[in-house]
Amino acid sequence: MDHSSGVDQHLPLKPVVFHILLALVERDRHGYGIMQEVRVRSHERVRLQTGPLYRHLRKLLDGGWVCEVEARPDDDDPRRGAYYGLTDLGRAVAAAEARRLRSLVATSEGLGLVSEKS
C-alpha cells in the first residue's frame, strides 16, 4: 500500500488499458498474445487491433507500467517481437483499479441495484 496515493492519480483507467494490464497479470506475453488474451477474457467484447494495441503499449512502456522481458518460452518464434510483462507499478495500478471497481460494485449491491448472484 506504500505507493497507493501515487497510484490513485492514474485512476480510473481506460477499460482497454485495464484489459491489457489484466492480460499480463498471469504471465508475460507478446503483442498478439495480449490481443488474444483480452479477447478471450472479455468474451469477445473487446477486440483490440494491432495499431491501437501498440500505441497503448508504447505509452505503458514509457510510463513504466509495462516492461520488455528478455526471457522467452522454449518453443518461441523469434519473429514474434518482444515479450512484455507488468512492472511493480503496473501491477499496483491494476490492483488499485480493481479495488476501485470492487467498491463500486459493493455500493451497487448495497443499494439493491444488482443481486450478488446475477
Partner 1 sequence: MSPRPERSTAYDVLLRCYPVAFRARFGEGMRDAFAHERLEASRRGVLALGWLWVRTLAHALAFGGLERASAATGRGGGWFRDMRHGARRLRRSPGFALAAVLTLTLGVGGTAAMLALVKGVVVDPLPYPEAERLVAVQHRAEGAGLPLMGVSLGTYVHYRERSRSFDEMTLYVTGSFAVLGPEGAVRVEGARVGPGFFELLLDGAPLMGRTIGADDQVPGAPLVVVISAEFWRTRFEGAADVVGRGISIGGRPAVIVGVVPTSFDAPSRDTQIWLPHQIDAERVILGGFGRGGIARLRAGVTPEQAQADLERLVPSLADRFNPVAFDLLVTGGGLTPLVRPLKETVVGSIEQTLWILMGTVVFVLAIAAANVANLFLVRAESQRREVTLRSALGAGRGAIVRHRLSEALVVGAVSGLLGVGVAWGALRWVVRRGPEQLPRLHEVGLEPSTIAVAIALALGCALAFGGLPLLRGTPGLRASLAQTRRGNTSSPRSLGLRNLLVAAQTALALVLLVGSGLMVRTYAALRDVDTGVDAASGLVFQVGLPWGLYAEDAAALQLQQRILERLRSVPGVTEVGAGVCVPLTDCRRETPIYPDGMPLVEGQTPPSVDVIGITSGFVEALGIEVLEGRGLEPGDPFREPPVALVSRRAAERMWPGRSAIGQRIHPDYPNETPFTVVGVVEDVRSHGLTAVPPETLYLSFLGTYGYTAPPQTLGYVVKTSVAPESLAPAIRTAVRELDPNVPLANMRTMRDVVHEAGAQTAFAMILLVGAGLVSLALGTVGIYGVLSYTVSRRTAEIGVRIAMGARAAEVSGMVVRQGTRVVLAGVAIGLVGAAFLTRVLDAVLYGVRPLDPATFGVVTLALIGVALLASYLPARRAALVDPVTALRDGRQ
* Residue position matching grid coordinates 443499494: 111
Assign 11 to helix, strand or coil: coil
Q: Return the number of the residue (47 or 117) whose C-beta is nearest partner 1.
A: 47
Residues within the interface to partner 1 (CB under 8 A)? 30-32, 35, 49-55, 57-58, 62, 75, 77, 79-82
Longest dimension (CA), the chain: 52
Q: Return the number of the residue (31 or 99) whose C-beta is nearest partner 1.
A: 31
Q: Return the number of the residue (21 or 34) whose C-beta is nearest partner 1.
A: 34
Supply the minimum distance, in Å, between the C-beta of residue 78 and partner 1: 8
Supply the minimum distance, in Å, between the C-beta of residue 99 and partner 1: 28
Burial track 39-75 (b if 16+ CB lie within 10 A, e otherwise): beebeeeeebeeeebeebbeebbeeebbbebeeeeee
Supply the minimum distance, in Å, between the C-beta of residue 16 and partner 1: 12
Q: Return the number of the residue (64 or 103) whose C-beta is nearest partner 1.
A: 64
Supply the minimum distance, in Å, between the C-beta of residue 47 and partner 1: 9
CB distance 64 to 89 below 8 Å: yes
Residue 44 one-letter amino acid: E
